[in-house]
Structure 1
């Protein structure tokens, strides 16, 4: 048995998750507030203040409000100066952007239109009002709106917590804010930028260091043109360190200092060289006092495994297996059609009787040659007697055979031949059913494998950065993952799959893992689905859907307590499933067929089969269940909880009902049940549902008086907002009363599903 790792509640995982869940949101809020302070304070080209609004538009949903508060506080300080009208317009724009992001969460366009539009509109109002500020204010407000919109869009595309372009944008806002400050001869902006550049060069991160120098240098120049020599010095010092001594601490700091001196002195700036050199020198010297492990060179990350080719190869092999199974089914059918058919008719009974008895009889020549026509008519006259009675007696012989000298032996031979004939016919029918079931199973499995290969061939867009962060999180808990992949599907929904050594998790631990993984991926995850196999445990995280399903069911048996109707209601990771199967007839035999069909269909749906494929396999199972004829209706609805798309499949089922917008309508046409034919005669359709809508599946016993009263009752229940359990109970009780009046009792069942909004 594989060794199982048990995460005990007293182990660090629960405490670590709890502490991170409590501290990290506060740290993010504080960091966002500080970034907002810097962004609101930064002034570009002596008049523009775009960073505060841009950060409010671009930061994630959990921290944009704190950033807006910091930006508003900084803008207020500017409002006491020469830009009071511009600052007032900016404050209105930040407030409008925050309100839009609160009212339309997850939608960026309303926030951008509200923030930038309020800024431009405020400038126009102040310009056209009494004592207007003129076109200059409109120009500044328009420039601020344009820069803020571009800055916010860039931050949405490139989040600042992810190393890359977004981080450089946030750093440029901080550099611009610090560039406008002076403490005597010291420039904090130049010193801070030099310190970060030197640290990056010591860690051997050449490209990030060069990019940081370029971005922050441009921000310093935009904040104060007199800092252009400092920007040139930073770029020269970083380039020298990258080229001459990457990753070596002492040599890197010396190269940075030399390059900076050369860059500053090459720019004619009388009277400013010494203060700038002092600021840059302090910045470059600061890393010399950092702890050694802070400046340890970062090793290059190993190349990730070629996951798409591996998935593609697996998909190709599955497709090959699917084609082989399909080809096998076609070959079996083709061989069967090519073989000549053996004519097992009643003439075989006559021939076998002749061979076993008459062939050695002394009157053979007379009966089978001279009087052949009369003898053959007499033998054919035995067929209805044998088919009706199953056996033959001497008194049953027709007049054409009255001359037979062995009547008892003739009856015995005919009885044996007819019994063998009937056995051969039953074997032929059974073999035909087995062949049909075998080829149908091969075809269904081939289609299922083909669907699976298509899904593996489209694994989604990988998110390597988020995958690495999720893997690091699980490693910090003492369970390094064997595999970790975060992907986006075609609809932009995030999914995370983490494979660990065999581990058991409690429900609170799964909820905490979902919360922390969702924070890392910036998505809202449900508790993961846990799959365990061969010493490994896989956690499948899916985004919380926009809708949730509430189920209700009620039923009553025609006689006694055993009903032939069976209901299955459950939610898979992305869809709500509801199944109703009605076994043919009533009582225990019907209950066996209905329960078997519903249970098998539910298992196949949970395994990822489509409704059509599940119906084909269940049809085979019912056909081979026993020698007696078995059949059941199949009524199924599957609702995508992200989009509201509902797929309905019916095979012999009674019409169902959909309540959309308060109006009920029946759905479903006439078809045959499963289990009685070699194939499935089902019908599918796709509809769209929304929050507040109902889907109702009923057995034919509920429609004793037709579907009209059911639709009216559903509209009344929908208007009253009745829960599904109550709706199902009312339908069954009313149908039972109507059936007792008409004297046509039957099993009555109603299964109800209602969609509700998840509230996010």
Structure 2
């Protein structure tokens, strides 16, 4: 292409680019002006006019003016138009001075927006003699204009600067989040039934921020979006906290995938917004959260990855975190938050009881009595949720306390190994807990076309650290890989299971889940839904699956049980209950913990001798509070644990003990489980049938060959 042809082609392209930029700022000005807070203040159009680049100022002013003139749900005062004209006039007069204020451009924009709006607002106040409330609104409107002019200015710089992807500071991302909140507020006027476009987009932004920037991104986006909606005053004052908590929890669960992250956001934001929703009867935000979460889960990642990945944070390998200080800070804050939530639950309970006692002495109609009963039920539900969240935070603090120190020398050696495998380390953390077990967590970028053999990588990492590691668990994001190495445990578990359906029905009320939780524990869950058939199957599967998901996400056993108990209590109007039998085996030490909630007896074979493990308890779904009854056994290689449902015990336990003691090493765990189930069915003599399930767990030293 000749120079003349290149110039001929480039000129119309530059013109189209300029037209597109003007159209963008016209639309931004229009949306900013349509965002109204407190039901009467519209400062954001002026903020956009003050913050946009001078070459786009006319388009932004025209868009803002049109936004103020167009009819809407509220009437925008004319002083906003006057302040808009004053702002652009001052910018034109001082445009030569502004060129010398580039270092404080955002602050200059804040003054340009705030001062004219304050002056026009106070003039209206003195002329109309509207009272102190009008003066307060005028000052608040001017402050909002200045604040968002600052946010808009920093955000414009963020988009116009040519920086590599991911190299954005947290302060800049916070400004962008608050700027986006204004546009979402304007789009909230577009409604389809109980759902607004602005609300759905807000939740989507929070979820994507959690996916690509973790806890920090989700929390900032949630607080920013919630704060903007809270300014409307339409019963949405609790959204800042609800979205903030939702973003934080979504960020925590983001490494597990989109579904766990979305579920964490739904549950946590719903619980946090429950008091406000009950008070104001505003439940439309819950519909918006549900709709946005479904869109987030179903939307293919390839459609959004390139755009949102531009803002994904990137860790600088030269930054060495002060791990000990950070750990102590996190533990202290989690403990404090847990104590605060526990006190909130106690306060709500005490106040509610006093109010109930006072109302009992007053004559009330049947409708008032029904409303009081429903309020008490909602309060008890909220107290249980606050208590559950408090317990989860306490468990997180305890987990962080397990890590005693960081091994920087090993981290440097692991980094060198990664380079040998064509992996660029962004961050390497080698944590040693109080039991002297090391966990290595790596954030790295893989080169194009590079294939990594996990076995070879594990062998080299084990060699430089002087420890034996299992192969890593790997999770991938749009921009990086996360690898976690754990020291290889002393034992491994071999599992066998068998089941008999009552009267050979298709569905079974017993449900099982067995898995390793990633921290060196093997978990086995047996849940028996009360009764038989479809309804019992639904209860059993729901309890076992929810428990497994919560435990795999890092929630403790007791907290997971409380959450499942609450879920069982509200899933339907009919009574639902199920037993829980949970076994947790520490593969490093051989210590096995039994956690039972109404479950049948279990059996342990140690050195060839069998003894039962039993504990009283109440199934989940019956009472508002439920707890595990726990016991502990220390096992070694070739020892057994046998879990059964109550259908296996109708003819006593002596035959099971004899079967286990007589089997010795002749049968595998699978064969033993099948023998237990077959024996229970054959020995049934009362003419009835029941679901029968058996799980057999056999501990093997890691060097042993499993059966």
In structure 2, what is the equivalent of residue 683 of structure 1? 629
Residues in 1 aligned to 2:363 and 2:645: alpha-carbon distance in whole angstroms: 48
Query: Is 1:616 matched up with 2:632?
Result: no
Deviation, 1:303, is 8.9
In structure 2, what is the equivalent of residue 337 of structure 1? 353
In structure 2, what is the equivalent of residue 634 of structure 1? 580
How many equivalent residue pairs? 386
Residues in 1 aligned to 2:343 and 2:638: alpha-carbon distance in whole angstroms: 47
Query: Is 1:481 matched up with 2:407?
Result: no
2:510 pairs, out of 555, 561, 565, with 565
Structure 2 CA distance for partners of 1:617 and 1:471, relative to 1, 3 Å: same
Deviation, 1:343, is 6.9
Bigger radius of gyration, 1 or 2? 1
Deviation, 1:488, is 2.3
Query: Unpaired segments of 5 or more residues in structure 2?
Result: 1-316
Is the CA contact 1:344–1:425 (under 8 Å) kept in the aligned structure 2? no
1:711 pairs, out of 644, 657, 666, with 657
Is the CA contact 1:503–1:537 (under 8 Å) kept in the aligned structure 2? no
Residues in 1 aligned to 2:682 and 2:449: alpha-carbon distance in whole angstroms: 49
Residues in 2 aligned to 1:506 and 1:304: alpha-carbon distance in whole angstroms: 27
1:696 pairs, out of 628, 634, 642, with 642
Matches within 5 A, 1:79-94: none
Deviation, 1:321, is 2.2
Query: Unpaired segments of 5 or more residues in structure 1?
Result: 1-300, 353-420
Structure 2 CA distance for partners of 1:722 and 1:620, relative to 1, 3 Å: same
In structure 2, what is the equivalent of residue 733 of structure 1? 678
Deviation, 1:490, is 1.8
User: What is the root-mean-square deviation of aligned Cα atoms in Å?
Assistant: 2.7
In structure 1, what is the equivalent of residue 544 of structure 2? 598
Residues in 2 aligned to 1:532 and 1:435: alpha-carbon distance in whole angstroms: 41
Is the CA contact 1:318–1:450 (under 8 Å) kept in the aligned structure 2? yes
1:462 pairs, out of 390, 395, 406, with 406
Deviation, 1:477, is 3.2
Deviation, 1:721, is 3.5
Structure 2 CA distance for partners of 1:340 and 1:304, relative to 1, 3 Å: closer
Structure 2 CA distance for partners of 1:463 and 1:628, relative to 1, 3 Å: same
Structure 2 CA distance for partners of 1:505 and 1:458, relative to 1, 3 Å: farther
Deviation, 1:716, is 1.6
Other structure's SS at 1:496 match: strand
Could you report, residue by residue, the CA deviation over 1:42-89 in whole angstroms, capped at 9, with x for unpaired residues? xxxxxxxxxxxxxxxxxxxxxxxxxxxxxxxxxxxxxxxxxxxxxxxx
Query: Is 1:307 matched up with 2:307?
Result: no
Other structure's SS at 1:460 match: strand
Structure 2 CA distance for partners of 1:458 and 1:642, relative to 1, 3 Å: closer
In structure 1, what is the equivalent of residue 691 of structure 2? 747
Is the CA contact 1:323–1:446 (under 8 Å) kept in the aligned structure 2? yes
Is the CA contact 1:566–1:591 (under 8 Å) kept in the aligned structure 2? yes
Residues in 2 aligned to 1:538 and 1:322: alpha-carbon distance in whole angstroms: 29
Is the CA contact 1:697–1:750 (under 8 Å) kept in the aligned structure 2? yes
Could you report, residue by residue, the CA deviation over 1:304-347 in whole angstroms, capped at 9, with x for unpaired residues? 43221122222222222222222221121111111134778999
In structure 2, what is the equivalent of residue 547 of structure 1? 491
In structure 1, what is the equivalent of residue 464 of structure 2? 520
Is the CA contact 2:402–2:434 (under 8 Å) kept in the aligned structure 1? no
In structure 1, what is the equivalent of residue 385 of structure 2? 441
Structure 2 CA distance for partners of 1:551 and 1:508, relative to 1, 3 Å: farther
Could you report, residue by residue, the CA deviation over 1:584-628 in whole angstroms, capped at 9, with x for unpaired residues? 111111111110100011111112222222111111111111111
Other structure's SS at 1:336 match: helix
Residues in 1 aligned to 2:599 and 2:447: alpha-carbon distance in whole angstroms: 44
RCO higher in structure (CA 8 A, sep ≥6): 1
Residues in 1 aligned to 2:638 and 2:508: alpha-carbon distance in whole angstroms: 30
Residues in 1 aligned to 2:349 and 2:342: alpha-carbon distance in whole angstroms: 11
Matches within 5 A, 1:79-478: 304-341=320-357, 421=366, 429-478=373-422
Residues in 1 aligned to 2:500 and 2:537: alpha-carbon distance in whole angstroms: 12
Is the CA contact 2:514–2:525 (under 8 Å) kept in the aligned structure 1? yes
Q: TM-score, normalised by structure 1?
A: 0.48
In structure 1, what is the equivalent of residue 667 of structure 2? 722
Could you report, residue by residue, the CA deviation over 1:701-755 in whole angstroms, capped at 9, with x for unpaired residues? 11011222111111122x144111111111111111122x321211111111110
Structure 2 CA distance for partners of 1:338 and 1:754, relative to 1, 3 Å: same
